[in-house]
Amino acid sequence: IHGNDQSTAIRRRIILFPLPVQGHINPMLQLANILHTQGFTITIIHTQHNFPNHLNYPHFTFKSISDRFFEVANQIPKGDASFFVKYLNRSCEEPFRDCLTGLLAEYDDGSVSCLISDALFYFTQAVADSLKLPRMVLRTTSLAGAIAYGALPFSSENGYFKLTKEDSNYEASVPEFPLMKVKDVVKMTTNPEGMGEFVTNMLNQMKASSGLIWNTFKELEEDALETICQDFSVPCFTLGPFHKYFPASSSSLIEQDRTVISWLDTQAPKSVIYISFGSVARITQSEFQEVAHALTNAGLPFLWVVRPGVVPGSEWLEPLPEMFLERVGDKGRIVKWAPQQDVLAHPATGCFWTHCGWNSTLESICEGVPMVCSPCFVDQPVNARYVSDVWKIGVFFGG
């Protein structure tokens, strides 16, 4: 706050720019709420694709920019996050620059203290520099995930990406990050070249920023924090877990089916397996059917989030094995999207079969729910290795 007289003081304004996917929007909006409670005025710049419901945030100002995402929406290759990231970094640059320039002209009293951009929007560093606005970065994964990204050689030249299940080295540790096996690294991307390019851009622009904010906490990642502080010579702030201050439900892009809570109320303590693979991961029809068979064989109550589109080519439940729903009866619930934080906090939930997205991992850790880890891509294999082999609060499951 400027000045001594509180009544005429200018509140400091922060402009935030989330990446338009659920696992990035949730922590950015939670961070915005945390900053708001600290007295900051909040403006959110968002893309037209995937934006949060403004009505849940009457205390924020929103500005929308064009992203032309619809041009490529149906072309995203499975397992290649770099396609989406690189496209948005190109398509958003001009509209973002125009929007930010307009905002700085509108708030011309010097009240804007900084931009907080998602780390994956690496183009924003140059824009902020040209407008002489400090840029802070929110990195929405674990510190360990960031270290692994920096250490692993992503390139099609790298032999790891050529190995298959049949190769004897497939189960071997990788020297660059020995906690991980070759099969984990292979899982991270179907396009190592593209991944390498986006990771390099992201890490360089994180190093060029004015500071890094992480949704994690020191007690969980003390060693990694030391490494990160050495590697990135900019201030680092571990402010998480954000969801303990503000729930993710208000930034949910899909309506959460709250009827699951009254169903959980009828179940015995710690008896229910909760299954979700997050908002982006896609699995094959046979993997989906394996999940169904495993649930039938386990014979335990389950709550399964089947996000429409999780199996490419299927609308929703068509790939379920015949008679599956009849066989499980009241023992199982399948929904399109759940109030995950409340599910994990519910006394009936005994275990989380997860893809190990960082938000899911953190939410599960905070509720003390053990995990079965079946990572799909990007940072998920790193998180899964930490859960199973370092923190020992879950088991790694899946080839």
Active-site residue set: 24, 118
Count interface residues toward ligand UDP (CB under 6 A).
22
Alpha-carbon radius of gyration of the chain: 22
Residue 276 makes contact with ligand UDP by CB under 6 A? yes
Beta strands 177-181 and 173-174 are antiparallel
Give φ, ψ of 113 to 5 degrees. Answer: -90, -35
* 80, 193, 272, 333 from 196: Cα distances, Å: 11, 5, 39, 40
Least Cβ distance, residue 195 to ligand UDP (angstroms): 16
When binding is defined by CB under 6 A, the residue of 81, 174, 310, 338 that contacts ligand UDP is 338
DSSP 262-309: HHHHTSPTT-EEEEE-TTT----HHHHHHHHHHHHHH-S-EEEE--TT
Strands 272-276 and 349-354: parallel
> Does residue 305 touch ligand UDP according to CB under 6 A?
yes
Residue 358 contacts ligand UDP per CB under 6 A: yes
What is the C-alpha separation between 55 and 182, in angstroms, rounded?
46
Q: Is residue 359 close enough to count as binding ligand UDP by CB under 6 A?
A: yes
Q: Does 377 bind ligand UDP (CB under 6 A)?
A: no
- Pick the piece of the chain touching ligand UDP (CB under 6 A) from 120-128, 146-154, 283-291, 354-362: 354-362
| Comparison of 20 and 95: residue with beta carbon closer to ligand UDP | 20
Toward ligand UDP, which CB reaches closer, 85 or 99?
85
Annotate each residue in 129-168 with x if it binds ligand UDP (CB under 6 A) or - if it does not, as one string: ----------------------------------------
Residue whose CB is less far from ligand UDP, 47 or 360 = 360
Quick note: the x/- pattern for ligand UDP over 228-267, rule CB under 6 A, is --------------------x---x---x-----------
Identify whether the C-beta of residue 97 lies closer than 8 Å to the C-beta of residue 127.
yes
Phi then psi dihedrals of residue 280, to 5 deg: -125, -35
Residue 337 as a binder of ligand UDP (CB under 6 A): the answer is yes
Preceding peptide of 241 cis, ω within 30°? yes
| Residue 88 touching ligand UDP (CB under 6 A) | no
Question: What is the residue type of 206?
Answer: M
**How many whole angstroms separate alpha carbon 117 and alpha carbon 114?**
10
If one asks whether residue 191 binds ligand UDP (CB under 6 A), the answer comes out as no
Residues within the interface to ligand UDP (CB under 6 A)? 21-23, 26, 248, 252, 256, 276, 278-281, 305, 337-338, 340-341, 357-360, 363
